[in-house]
Amino acid sequence: MYTIRNLVILFLIICVPVLLLAQPKQPVDYADPMIGSSESRWMLNPGVTMPFGMVQLSPDNQGNVWKAGYEYTLNNIGGFSHIHSWTMSGLSIMPTVGALNTKQGPADGPTTGWTTGYRSRIDKKTEQASPGYYAVTLMNGNIRTELTSTTRAGFFRFTYPQEEEAHILIDLDFPAENKPKILDARITQVNDKEIEGYSKQQMDDWNEYTVHFVVRFNKPIGYFGGWKKDSVLHKVKEVTGSGDIGAFADFKTQKGEVILMQTGISLVSVEGARLNLETEMNPFNWNFDSVRNNARTTWNTLLSKIKVEGGSEENLKKFYTNLYRSYIARTIWSDVNGKYVDVCEQVRTLDDPKSPILGSDAFWNTFWNLNQLWTLVNPDIANMWVKSQLEMYKHGGWLSKGPAGIEYSGIMEASHEISLIVSAYQKGIRNFDAATAFKAMLHQQTVPGVKHECGGYAGNKFFDSYMKLGYVPHEEGQVSNTLEYAYDDWCVAQMAKALGKKSEYKGFIKRAGNYKNVFDPETKYIRMKHKDGAWVKDWNPYCCTSFNGTGYLEGNAWQYSFFNPHDVQGILNLMGKDEFNKRLEEGFEKSARFSFNAEADLYDRVPINHGNQPNMQAAYLFNYSGKPWLTQKWAREIMNTYYGSDPYHGWLGDEDEGQMGAWFVMSAMGLFETDGGASVKPFYEIGSPLFEKTTITLDNQYYSGKTFEIEARNTSDKNIYIQSATLDGKPLTKPWFYHADLVDGGKLVLEMGPEPNQNWGSKPQDAPPSMSAAANAK
């Protein structure tokens, strides 16, 4: 007979594994950092970070090339570096065994002999990646290498299967997407368990920064040394120099031994790096799994703000991975005590250390993705970004369109950080000085841009001519800047209106119509124009893409002729509704064959290029032109074909610091804001939700409602069209509704079907508000 004890044991053996398998997945379990890790940017990788983490600790395996960093198809790793921000890198770590080698070796070279470098082959089957955790087994010594992190500190766990002469390399000069020069560096052994140092680095002529670091181990270092170029330095306590420089800590490991290593970084000082490390890591008392679980919990809390139900496993994976990507590539650059280095290399201290200074690539067209997501789901984060911009304005005199390393990068065009600030204010996110914000916007939109005295370019290029002529002439720069400046003018006008500043509103709302100055009524395209007012003759709708120079910034006339976020009705009036719809429909049909991506920037082949910023709003324009069912069709088609769920196909084109991820998240919920949410009464346009039910948990510090639900009844790959809608139990006959009606809580119910209901939302008065059709809004 079985005893009670035996029965309990039998129950545990049989039932516990089943119970564990039956536990529902959490949102964090669907987020897969490996998705899109082939042909991805430096800032998007399978490594570990916290939301906007200063430490973005990830494996690197490429050379100094575009989209350097981690490439999934390469079966090797050359190091694990801490900084993966745009134009910035720093502090690479690599564990090795056997003969010491201080050269990384080529990315495409053999990794079997010591002469080729310390790079190690890997077996892809040993890789694991999830938010806050990465692991791989390095075949050089079969070292199991695991990574996790806090916001400003990294944690390594190295497991050695055999007794080895182990080296842990600290390399300061290694490949990156934008490789900086190492101007000056120092690495010092402080005691038997700790190393500290700094690396002063410069990228181009504008981004100079110093990475300070502290490295500590859980056991004494057996031997310390370093290198400078080809010279290996033994039995030293300090290594100094520039260029190719690094250090190594040696250990004698036993079979199965684990070495733990923690790192803290700072752009301010070594003391700041140590404070970051001790503040964030000491509470965990060297417990790697506790730090890993803390990262997982943090990410799961953030991702759980949106709960989606009733979708396929693939779409769940795509949704939460894209949501995760929307928070990983931009960077906190202030220390735990609020200290940071400003644009003129002065150390400053924030009034509120919990609202950090933040750096990033450009805000170029983030109004079509990140702005919408942050202001809706994380208004506290949107507020932090606004305060960070105002902190830069306070000490640098300008807002920043791309504050990489808290510098004026000058990257991309216009000043679309204005849109984020205005959208936040209009949505009631106002924990910042609105008067200062408006003053900063006025400065940005009335003073021509300059080369900043402390480096980089601040403000808007070609702005003097724009203010005098009402457009950017062909002799100076891209005509497309006219459209971008006009949109920012409209944003300032909306802020002025909200603040009751009538004269400023009148001036800027007039300038918001400047897009008309470069619309050719004969060809019905946005067209390049000379200073004397004559149209450029050598031209066609698909020509003249440029990055530096004249023409259209990373686009063409076809795409920019639909670029008018604040006044879609104005373009409809100029182009004519029939031509507008005909041109747009043909563009989608043609682009669908290329999955909406202009491979190698071949814009003449792909009118709708979702792989870049200038026309990511395209699918939602049909809501304005009387054909909302085509918005539903094409938004769904982009989600299904452009976005993927494996390492090779995550996002085609350039997933620029979470922008494509945020677009997917908003569209999967069935929401979008063509005008960036900057109007005095922000509103959402409706697309085609992927999931039967979406629940958004609203932040009660900013919004009065508890949750907002979007129910898409019968939605499926076939049932993509809206048949009817209700909002809070009342019929909704328009393909849009106000932000205020969302954040007070409630429910949007959409009845979905396989065929379009061409009567729903298609009347002229059903179109969403825009500058030339403000009367449509009630």
pLDDT tens across 362-388, in order?
A: 999 999 999 999 999 999 999 999 999
β-bridge pairing 238-241 and 181-191: antiparallel
Question: Other CB atoms closer than 10 Å to residue 546's CB: what's the count?
Answer: 15
Q: What is the mean pLDDT of residues 438-466?
A: 97
Q: What is the mean pLDDT of residues 551-578?
A: 97
Question: What digits encode the pLDDT tens for the residues 193-206?
Answer: 999 999 999 998 89
pLDDT-derived band at 6 (thresholds 50, 70, 90) equals: low
Question: What digits encode the pLDDT tens for the residues 331-342?
Answer: 999 999 999 999
Q: What is the mean pLDDT of residues 677-691?
A: 98
Specify the higher pLDDT residue, 602 or 159. 159
Both structure tokens of 541: 């709708």
Of 564, 589, 585, residue with least CA distance to 574: 564
Strand order in the sheet with 683-686: 671-672, 683-686, 736-738
Q: Where in the chain is the domain with CATH 1.20.1050.60?
A: 355-461
Q: What is the mean pLDDT of residues 613-617?
A: 94
Of 644, 547, 288, residue with least CA distance to 653: 644
Are 340 and 637 contacting, i.e. CB atoms less than 8 angstroms apart? Answer: no
**548, exposed or middle or buried, with CB in 10 Å at 0-12, 13-18, 19+?**
exposed
Q: Where in the chain is the domain with CATH 2.70.98.10?
A: 31-302
Q: What is the pLDDT of residue 17?
A: 45
Are 621 and 562 contacting, i.e. CB atoms less than 8 angstroms apart? Answer: yes
Q: What is the mean pLDDT of residues 278-292?
A: 98
User: Can you tell me whether residue 290 is helix, strand or coil?
Assistant: helix
> Which option is the CATH number for 355-461: 1.20.1090.10, 1.20.1050.60, 1.10.275.10, 3.40.50.720?
1.20.1050.60
% of the chain beyond a pLDDT of 90: 91
Distance in angstroms (rounded) separating the CA atoms of residues 145 and 148: 10
CATH number of 31-302: 2.70.98.10
Both structure tokens of 236: 């030293």
Of 33, 26, 60, residue with least CA distance to 129: 33
Q: What is the pLDDT of residue 114?
A: 46
Q: What is the pLDDT of residue 718?
A: 98
Q: What is the mean pLDDT of residues 523-537?
A: 97
Q: What is the mean pLDDT of residues 699-709?
A: 97
Residue 22 has pLDDT above 70, yes or no: no
Distance in angstroms (rounded) separating the CA atoms of residues 566 and 484: 10
Average pLDDT score over the chain = 94
User: Can you tell me whether residue 398 is helix, strand or coil?
Assistant: coil
720 Cβ contact list (under 8 Å, min separation 6): 632, 633, 636, 688, 752, 754
Inter-CA distances, 182 with 51, 172, 200, 599, Å: 28, 8, 6, 34
Enumerate helices (H) and strands (E) in the chain, giving the number of each: 18, 40
Which range among 8-17, 628-637, 738-747 shows the weakest confidence by mean pLDDT?
8-17
Inter-CA distances, 206 with 182, 184, 198, Å: 14, 17, 19
Q: What is the pLDDT of residue 19?
A: 44
Q: What is the mean pLDDT of residues 399-415?
A: 94
User: Can you tell me whether residue 595 is helix, strand or coil?
Assistant: coil
Q: What is the mean pLDDT of residues 492-499?
A: 98
Are 260 and 288 contacting, i.e. CB atoms less than 8 angstroms apart? Answer: yes
Quick one: how far is CA 327 from the chain centroid?
6
Amino acid in position 200: K
Which range among 69-78, 442-451, 592-601 shows the weakest confidence by mean pLDDT?
592-601
Q: What is the mean pLDDT of residues 85-97?
A: 97
Q: What is the pLDDT of residue 278?
A: 98
Residue 495 has pLDDT above 50, yes or no: yes
Q: What is the mean pLDDT of residues 503-509?
A: 98
Question: Other CB atoms closer than 10 Å to residue 351's CB: what's the count?
Answer: 8
Q: What is the mean pLDDT of residues 602-625?
A: 93
Quick one: how far is CA 582 from the chain centroid?
33
For 574, the enclosing helix (H) or strand (E) is helix 568-575
Q: What is the mean pLDDT of residues 499-508?
A: 98
pLDDT-derived band at 20 (thresholds 50, 70, 90) equals: very low
% of the chain beyond a pLDDT of 70: 96
Which range among 137-151, 238-252, 300-314, 648-662 shows the weakest confidence by mean pLDDT?
648-662
| Angle at alpha carbon of residue 89, lines to 378 and 642, rounded to 5° | 55
Residue 294 has pLDDT above 60, yes or no: yes
Question: What digits encode the pLDDT tens for the residues 98-141?
Answer: 999 999 998 876 555 445 799 999 999 999 999 999 999 999 99
Which range among 14-18, 442-446, 698-702, 745-749 shows the weakest confidence by mean pLDDT?
14-18
Residue 4 has pLDDT above 70, yes or no: no
* E strands in 643-756: 643-646, 649-651, 671-672, 683-686, 693-697, 707-713, 721-727, 730-731, 736-738, 746-753
Q: What is the pLDDT of residue 3?
A: 52
Amino acid in position 43: M
Are 728 and 708 contacting, i.e. CB atoms less than 8 angstroms apart? Answer: no
Q: Is 315 left (phi over 0), alpha (psi -120 to 50) or beta?
A: alpha
User: Can you tell me whether residue 304 is helix, strand or coil?
Assistant: coil
96 Cβ contact list (under 8 Å, min separation 6): 118, 120, 140, 141, 143, 166, 167, 168, 169
Question: What digits encode the pLDDT tens for the residues 35-79?
Answer: 999 999 999 999 999 999 999 999 999 999 988 999 999 999 999
